[in-house]
Structure 1
Amino acid sequence: MQIQAIQDSIRHHKNTCELLGKEVQLDPNSGVFITLNPAGKGYGGRQKLPDNLKQLFRPVAMSRPDNELIAEVILYSEGFKNGEILGRKLVAIFNLARELLTPQQHYDWGLRALKTVLKACGSLLQQQRRSHDKEKIQESNLVVQALRLNTMSKLTFADNSRFDALVRDVFSGVNFTDMEDQILMDALQQVYKEAQLELIPSQVYIISLVIYCLGNWF
């Protein structure tokens, strides 16, 4: 009943709408849309709409998104010059990982995970531009670093080597180099010194990696 009242007010170009006995200001550009979870097997939380509510809306079918086009556009918007090639390779990695790695409940090779890697690519590119000559930046190296940084910690031990093999096949000739945030590393070393703890480089790197990933997630 409330949605019907809102729709009627919009349809008649009114600036107010009566909801629960109160006159409420209404933005004429507002609208109501309902999205439903996919009906596929294993995807919980999907419920059917009541028939009286369904009559107020027009159904729209959605198709599978073009991940290659999405990756290309995001990379170009982040400042990459080879967005088309790099985006195609990233999507290929995700497709191969979905098919060849072991099925784990926490693995995500969909668009959400792909966008996380693409955002990390943009962050690394901006960081490199501040500290290096723009002409010397290797975009493929940055993409591989962002991909491994946001993926390796989620994989099982056996899948780690398989994933690295996939990356080497798709991004041939790219060296695997670990990305370090020098400011963060200096801060961690200072904390170790103040706490009078033994500094173990591998341990410091893992801690910095966890902090970096948490920063991207939140």
Structure 2
Amino acid sequence: MVGTFKLSSEQLSAQDHYDYGMRAVKSTIDACGLLKRTLGDQLGEDQIVLRALRDVNVPKFLQDDLPLFENIISDLFPTTERPKVDYGNLSAALDEVFKKNNVQGTEWFVVKVVQLLDTLKVRHGMMLVGPTGAGKTTNYRMLQQTMT
């Protein structure tokens, strides 16, 4: 896990919101613990670490850095199968909320809403940042309505 953060800090672009220190390691360990408690019987240890690394880091990376991060993960976990993520009822509930609010539930937007949920599970605080009209408010409102 530490090797992933070290290589990421060396190879990915320098961004103010990228964090490879102890806070990132703690968030990843917390995510591992959560995954172990909920999916421990379905996933191996390497798969849990791999999924936690993705869940914690992918939402904050820029689009150009995602392939580099995936290559780092592939190099460090060459034999680990990428775990399939099943959100079960969440997808159906999101679809209902999208229809109710006349929001297009594109695959990309659904991924962003799920990433927000995953981030909220492992972080004490977070910010949604981006240009005007990018969907930040819609993202958290759709998640809020889905979770109630």
The alignment's TM-score, normalised by the length of structure 1, stands at 0.50
Q: Aligned AA for 1:97?
A: S
Alignment of 1:43-54 (within 5 A): none
Q: Aligned AA for 1:99?
A: E
Query: Per-residue CA shift, 1:141-180, capped at 9, x if unaligned?
Result: 1211110111112122222111111110011122334534
What is the alpha-carbon root mean square deviation over aligned residues?
A: 2.1
Specify which of 101, 113, 117 is matched with residue 211 of structure 1.
Answer: 117
Correspondence 1:151 to 2:57: yes
Query: Per-residue CA shift, 1:63-82, capped at 9, x if unaligned?
Result: xxxxxxxxxxxxxxxxxxxx
Correspondence 1:160 to 2:71: no
Whether the 8 Å CA contact 2:59–2:115 is kept in 1: the answer is no
Structure with bigger gyration radius:
1
Correspondence 1:125 to 2:125: no
Post-superposition offset of 1:99? 1.9
Alignment of 1:179-198 (within 5 A): 179-195=85-101, 197-198=103-104
Where does the alignment leave 5 or more consecutive residues of structure 1 unmatched? 1-89
Distance 1:170 1:93 in 2: 7
Whether the 8 Å CA contact 1:101–1:162 is kept in 2: the answer is yes
Q: Aligned residue pairs: how many?
A: 124
Post-superposition offset of 1:91? 0.8
Q: Aligned AA for 1:164?
A: E
The alignment's TM-score, normalised by the length of structure 2, stands at 0.71
Q: Which residue number corresponds to residue 9 of structure 2?
A: 98
Q: Aligned AA for 1:167?
A: I
Whether the 8 Å CA contact 1:145–1:178 is kept in 2: the answer is no
Distance 1:93 1:197 in 2: 37
Tell me the secondary structure at the aligned position of residue 31 of structure 2.
helix
Moved more, 180-189 or 136-145: 180-189
Q: Which residue number corresponds to residue 137 of structure 2?
A: none
Distance 1:186 1:216 in 2: 23
Post-superposition offset of 1:201? 3.5
Query: Per-residue CA shift, 1:11-68, capped at 9, x if unaligned?
Result: xxxxxxxxxxxxxxxxxxxxxxxxxxxxxxxxxxxxxxxxxxxxxxxxxxxxxxxxxx
Q: Higher relative contact order by CA 8 Å / sep ≥ 6: 1 or 2?
A: 2
